[in-house]
Chains A and B, each alone.
Chain A
Amino acid sequence: MSTNPATARRNLLFKDNFESFAFILPAVIIFSVFYIYPFFETFALSMQKWNGISLHRTFIWFNNFIDLKDDKIWWNALGHAGYVTFIALTLQNALAFALALACDREIRMKRFYRVVFFLPPVLSEVVVGLIWQWILYAGKQDGQHIGLLNHFLDKTGFSHLIHSWLSDPDTALTCIAVVHSWKGFGWGFIILLAGLQTIDRQLYEAAKVDGAGSWRVLRNVTIPMMIPVIFDVIVLTILGSMQVFVLIISLLGNGLGDHTDVPVTRIFSAMTGTNQFGYACAQGVTFGLILIFVSFTFKKLSTKLKQA
């Protein structure tokens, strides 16, 4: 007995769909196991009290979040990440924008600069942190300063500025922010330069014919045209800087003081230090929501400004 044509067509379609679905199956499986499951499990764990080992987990509703609300160390840590982000947004992005403007013209060795400025971003945070730790090293041997920076200050007559850069709570965070900016400005530079190069040169010519000086051209032509790209860079900078972590532990080691705690180090120490797996997840969820809120606000602002 042959099957009727409608069933045969349906079977064929099913086979076809199944074949096509098989293409995404490996990706879906890996993604479900290593992303989607941990994603939802983070939310589930954030409402539990669990030490990570015992079979017993207690569901405690939002108590982890209530504890988090009163956790001074956590909010300080968020403030520290905010400080690093602030330096990155101002110092690092201003530098990136200035460099991009300088390279957006016929200038000698342009390609060399482009290659060199993107060198720090391709290095790992571990490598960058350990190199700078060596340069900022404080201490003396045989009357000589070990770290290059202090040695340099000593020899150039600025010995009053010599400092234990990384162990002094007053300067450690600024050092982190500066090294972070050193590593990161190349990203902003490349993206901003790509944005600048899409601006029609005729706009600049027209503005010049109208008698606008460089400053007016920058303010009235370049920056308005660059708003979407600038906001992209701002959002990328915020997401990258708020989650700074590896750079800190490679600069300072694991014997962290409270003064250089950031949200991710708090999550790690709640997990591996004090075995509060639920609390660690509550911190992660809160932090994630803050990041999404901030980047969403900036995206909104960007579209508003574009329309205006």
Chain B
Amino acid sequence: MGINRYQVYKFFKLTFIQIFLMSVAVTCLFPLFWMVRSAFMTNDTIFTDKSFIPKIIQLGNFAQAWTDGNFGVYFLNSIIYTASVVTGIVIVSSLAAYAFSRLNFPGKNFFFYMFVAAMMIPLPGSFVPLFVLMNKLGLVNTRIGYILCMINVGLSLSIFLLKTFFDKMPADLEDAARIDGCGKLGIWWYVALPLAQPAIAVIVIFNSLNVWNEYILASLLLNDNSKMPLQKGLMVFQGAHSVDYPILMAGLTIAALPIILIYLVMQKHIIKGLSSGAIVG
């Protein structure tokens, strides 16, 4: 049995493809490795020691970032914002999407297309009047103001995704519930929401990523250290006079790690949701 030319060609082709993919993968991972590695260094060595595993490892940076660097507060704020915004989006958008899909009322199409149109029209300067409005309403530098703004940011896409899901969902169970005397709100809560779990999972994941990573509105609306989320807290370092790099790297790790963990656990949903969403959109 000799090895023919075709097999040799195929072997080299596959090897070449593997080298290509692997080098890009390393390019993706290395900066993250470098961040974590730098978070374990001391102020004396961080500028000069370039070894992959530092000679002097300092574990205290994380504790110091958490307390002195205020990252404990920022972290808690980010959790509060993400949890409340995502809960708000799920309730408000599933109510609306259910009505758009199943109920009848005048102006239904008008309102639905209004939400859809908002997804398609970019208006980069609209944060200017938004800030003016928030100022008038006394919502600048308040948690509730930022939460409401962020609920609005995720609303359109979530309504659209959920409505598409409800449209495809068979209505048998809802009909059965109606015959049993269940009201509209009861059907939404007891029947539609539990059945829509896969779609809600996608909405929860995407909005969580979005709120956790949001910076522009946070920087416009929140000035108090005690109310800032992580992204804004990190930017305090940018432009500071003398930056404590080990603390900054520890802070970056604190901001990035939860997202990376959630992504790794949920990546199947994320990639599936993205692929299908992109084809639909």
Q: Do A and B bind each other?
A: yes
CB–CB A131/B129 < 8 A:
no
Min C-beta distance of B94 to chain A, whole Å = 9
A180 within 8 Å of B (CB atoms): no
Question: Of B59-67, B171-179, B263-271, which binds chain A?
Answer: B263-271
Digitize B95-109: 1 where CB-to-A-CB distance is under 8 Å, 0 elsewhere.
110111001111100
Digitize A104-125: 1 where CB-to-B-CB distance is under 8 Å, 0 elsewhere.
0001110011111111101111
B165 within 8 Å of A (CB atoms): no
Min C-beta distance of B233 to chain A, whole Å = 9
CB–CB B20/A23 < 8 A:
no
Min C-beta distance of A220 to chain B, whole Å = 20
CB–CB A195/B279 < 8 A:
yes
CB–CB B279/A194 < 8 A:
yes
Task: Tell me the nearest residue of chain B to A253, going by C-beta.
Answer: B239
Which A residues lie within 8 Å of B231 (CB)?
Answer: 124, 126-127
Which B residues lie within 8 Å of A89 (CB)?
Answer: none
The interface residues of chain A, by DSSP majority, are classed as helix
CB–CB B259/A123 < 8 A:
yes
B1 within 8 Å of A (CB atoms): no
Give the number of chain B interface residues (Cβ < 8 Å).
88
B202 within 8 Å of A (CB atoms): no
CB–CB A27/B129 < 8 A:
no
Question: Of A4-12, A32-40, A169-177, A203-211, which binds chain B?
Answer: A32-40
B169 within 8 Å of A (CB atoms): no
CB–CB B122/A119 < 8 A:
no
Which A residues lie within 8 Å of B20 (CB)?
Answer: 98-99, 102
CB–CB A20/B104 < 8 A:
yes
CB–CB A31/B155 < 8 A:
yes
Min C-beta distance of A263 to chain B, whole Å = 7
B157 within 8 Å of A (CB atoms): no
Digitize B4-32: 1 where CB-to-A-CB distance is under 8 Å, 0 elsewhere.
00000000001001101100110111011
CB–CB B239/A267 < 8 A:
no
Query: Complex Cα distance A52/B129, Å?
Result: 9
A21 within 8 Å of B (CB atoms): yes
Which B residues lie within 8 Å of A195 (CB)?
Answer: 279
CB–CB B184/A124 < 8 A:
no
CB–CB B118/A287 < 8 A:
no
CB–CB A17/B28 < 8 A:
no
Interface size class of A (residues with CB under 8 A): 35 or more
Which A residues lie within 8 Å of B98 (CB)?
Answer: 23
CB–CB A292/B121 < 8 A:
yes
B256 within 8 Å of A (CB atoms): yes
Which A residues lie within 8 Å of B122 (CB)?
Answer: 239, 243, 288, 291-292
Query: Complex Cα distance A190/B273, Å?
Result: 11
CB–CB A131/B21 < 8 A:
no
Contacts A102-B21, A250-B235; A26 near B96 (Cβ below 8 A)? yes
CB–CB A277/B184 < 8 A:
no
Which B residues lie within 8 Å of A118 (CB)?
Answer: 263, 267, 270-271
A148 within 8 Å of B (CB atoms): yes
Closest 9 CB pairs of A and B: A284-B125, A194-B275, A124-B213, A23-B99, A41-B129, A34-B152, A20-B103, A27-B96, A253-B239
Q: Give me 7 other A-B pairs in contact (C-beta within 8 A), A35-B152, A254-B238, A271-B128 excluded.
A: A17-B104, A103-B21, A109-B21, A117-B28, A122-B209, A141-B47, A246-B216
14 A-B residue pairs with Cβ-Cβ distance under 8 Å, sorted by A, are: A21-B107, A27-B92, A39-B126, A45-B129, A98-B20, A113-B24, A119-B28, A119-B32, A129-B238, A132-B31, A135-B31, A194-B278, A232-B278, A281-B125
